[in-house]
Chains A and B, each alone.
Chain A
């Protein structure tokens, strides 16, 4: 292959060769050249959030910003009045903030772990979802970490938790801080690396537009963090190698984060917390709610930025199947937990299981069983509801039900009688957590912060992984050509309604 041929491909006139084929054919002689042809449609769609700032964007940002501000005000009020104002008391010493901490750190899994697994397994369909998934992990993790602040009454002394000599190396909280902060660093690197080629593309696009303060700032930023990208094969090799390493590293890191978080419960001696199954239960629960959040975020941004052509029904159906598999696993683990405790015969466990399933906490418990267990299964079981709306609705219900499940994990054991009571074990001396406006506002503020930060992130960075998608498209086109040559193209499609529509169009 000559240099001219490679240059021709760069202009987009030839789109049939893949980077791999090119690598083989050109060797090192032309490895300074980007072998993947640009796709204008993908670039335009990916840059929409960066270049377009509609009225709805400002409305959404201001509304969400007000909710976040209300949360900060609530926290200040709590600092003034103490944890009692948030509904805490001597018995309900752990409650909503601990549940929020588990829930918000948990939802980061969908982005990081699922994206890493799909990258490692080289699932082609993942490409349009990875940026949204990784950005979701990136913004939800710091929000989740923030919940430790209102959770501790004495917030100004929070640094003593992690600073020698005040730190306690025996405490799961300290190790969880280490695990979460390492995971945060990994998430940042995992978000940054695939962004490098896209930053160069963004830079080129901005250079073609008007020269004002905004574009100058963007250009400076992108030149610093991604200006050296040329798209050559050696550069792609370096990037793919680094991404592979981080993808492998991030999986055990994520597992450690949530299992260490579960040690805060399971290393205590309290019935309902002292559970050896908790590390696994927490990790699976995190994956379950994390996948649900990615689906919800993808559905919202797909609608908001008109990305239906790239994030298709096929993606939602496949993510829906992952959701169901994780949901079934989580339900089974929950059942195991309650079954073993129920049969243990000790008064503490029997009392806690009774109160959770049939007693004072039966409403949240059964809400979880129906919302996170049965409804998603039913929605995805029928072809009629197995579509974008159906999967997104199921995911919203899962997110809500899984948050309630975290309350069910935290509150019943916290409020159970501290010592064996001489009175009726089923009803005596149970404490109560009282929901007040303060923790509810703080929880709502954290929830609002997720879309707010995502809107801001996608104002700076392309919403679709352009380089990845162009590479996939080039590979797919190469593959299609090969398959059509062999006459087996018809057998290669899958059976989602999007694909059926596409085939119908093609036939017409």
Chain B
């Protein structure tokens, strides 16, 4: 059967469209795979360290808590690898109160970072901003090149600090550049409104003028 040029063109167009659609899906799948790969990379490493977290009230202030995280190589005493335990970065977190008030589903807020000494111990002073039971988590910082290890504990705070010290200011363009930029933008905006209103009014006035001139 002989195929006309038109039919052939239609066929080519359809095949191109279908191929294009498939290419788009394939490209999105590639992006998806990359995301998945990175996500799994971040979670699949086996920690060679163990971490122990301890929280105790500071001797100097009833409001402060000393968080102590001890790093030790897995299955060995800390003394066996003393030189390797110095300088490991440890992150400390607290479980924040959430809408539901349930700590088990609360997001963890970063309190701060501390590096271990030669004995594998990292300490951080934490001042709770609310009283009561709060979950605490320590984690070896993966950004330092070491693999993840974490430990958690719970602390009951009896005293709390004020969350903010001093006055909190919202960001405003108070600087010279910000003021000028905002001023210029507001002027442009004003001019736009003027042109828009002006055009409508001008058209009406001109129509009125020509109407009186040519009304029959």
Q: Which residues of A contact B (CB under 8 A)?
A: 31-33, 84, 89-91, 168-170, 175, 178, 182, 185-186, 189, 192-193, 196, 227-230, 232, 234-235, 238-239, 242, 245-246, 249, 253, 328, 331-332, 334-335, 338-339, 341-345, 347, 349-351, 353-354, 357-358, 369, 373-374, 377-378, 381-383, 417-426, 429, 431
The 10 closest A-B pairs by CB, nearest first: A32-B214, A353-B35, A350-B38, A422-B139, A342-B35, A342-B34, A339-B31, A228-B211, A228-B207, A89-B99
What are 13 pairs between A and B in contact, CB < 8 Å?
A32-B210, A89-B99, A168-B171, A170-B170, A193-B200, A228-B208, A229-B207, A234-B206, A347-B39, A353-B39, A381-B13, A422-B91, A429-B105
A335 near B35 with CB under 8 A, answer no
B203 near A239 with CB under 8 A, answer yes
Compute how far the CA of A358 lies from the CA of B31 in the bound complex, rounded to whole angstroms: 11
Chain A's nearest CB lies how many Å from the CB of B163?
16
> Which residues of B (36-57) have their CB < 8 Å from a CB of A?
36, 38-43
Stretch of B73-81, B106-114, B123-131 at the chain-chain interface:
B106-114
Residues of B within 8 A of A383 (CB): 10
Our pick among B32, B182, B206 for the contact of A358 (Cβ within 8 Å) is: B32
B38 near A342 with CB under 8 A, answer yes
Chain A's nearest CB lies how many Å from the CB of B109?
6
Taken residue by residue from 87 to 115, chain B's Cβ proximity to chain A (1 for < 8 Å, 0 otherwise) reads as 00001010000111000011111100000
Residues of B within 8 A of A245 (CB): 195, 199
Q: Which residues of B contact A (CB under 8 A)?
A: 10, 13-14, 17-18, 20-21, 24-25, 27-28, 30-36, 38-43, 91, 93, 98-100, 105-110, 137-139, 148, 150, 170-173, 178, 182, 185-186, 189, 192-193, 195-197, 199-200, 202-204, 206-208, 210-211, 213-216
B108 near A335 with CB under 8 A, answer no
Chain A: which residue is nearest B33 at the CB level? A342
Residues of A within 8 A of B213 (CB): 32
Our pick among B21, B27, B150 for the contact of A422 (Cβ within 8 Å) is: B150
Main secondary structure of the interface of B (DSSP, over half): helix
B24 near A335 with CB under 8 A, answer yes
Further pairs besides A91-B98, A91-B107, A369-B28: 14, Cβ < 8 Å: A230-B215, A238-B203, A332-B24, A334-B28, A339-B31, A349-B35, A350-B39, A354-B35, A354-B38, A374-B24, A377-B21, A417-B108, A422-B93, A425-B39
Compute how far the CA of A477 lies from the CA of B213 in the bound complex, rounded to whole angstroms: 30
Compute how far the CA of A383 lies from the CA of B98 in the bound complex, rounded to whole angstroms: 56
Chain B's nearest CB lies how many Å from the CB of A353?
3
A429 near B108 with CB under 8 A, answer yes
Our pick among A182, A192, A345, A426 for the contact of B43 (Cβ within 8 Å) is: A426
Our pick among B35, B93, B197 for the contact of A350 (Cβ within 8 Å) is: B35
Given the known interface contacts A169-B173, A422-B150, the answer about A175 and B203 at a Cβ–Cβ threshold of 8 Å is no
Residues of A within 8 A of B139 (CB): 422
Residues of A within 8 A of B34 (CB): 339, 342-343, 353
Compute how far the CA of A422 lies from the CA of B95 in the bound complex, rounded to whole angstroms: 12
Compute how far the CA of A246 lies from the CA of B198 in the bound complex, rounded to whole angstroms: 11
Our pick among A182, A232, A354 for the contact of B39 (Cβ within 8 Å) is: A354
A229 near B211 with CB under 8 A, answer yes
Compute how far the CA of A357 lies from the CA of B34 in the bound complex, rounded to whole angstroms: 11
Compute how far the CA of A178 lies from the CA of B186 in the bound complex, rounded to whole angstroms: 9
Chain A: which residue is nearest B186 at the CB level? A178
Given the known interface contacts A32-B216, A249-B192, A339-B27, the answer about A192 and B110 at a Cβ–Cβ threshold of 8 Å is no
Residues of A within 8 A of B178 (CB): 169-170
Chain A's nearest CB lies how many Å from the CB of B146?
13
B43 near A235 with CB under 8 A, answer no
Residues of B within 8 A of A343 (CB): 31, 34, 38
Residues of A within 8 A of B182 (CB): 169
Residues of A within 8 A of B195 (CB): 245, 249
Chain A: which residue is nearest B179 at the CB level? A169
Compute how far the CA of A234 lies from the CA of B207 in the bound complex, rounded to whole angstroms: 9
Our pick among A168, A234, A426 for the contact of B210 (Cβ within 8 Å) is: A234
Given the known interface contacts A242-B203, A339-B27, the answer about A382 and B14 at a Cβ–Cβ threshold of 8 Å is yes
B28 near A338 with CB under 8 A, answer yes
Compute how far the CA of A183 lies from the CA of B113 in the bound complex, rounded to whole angstroms: 49
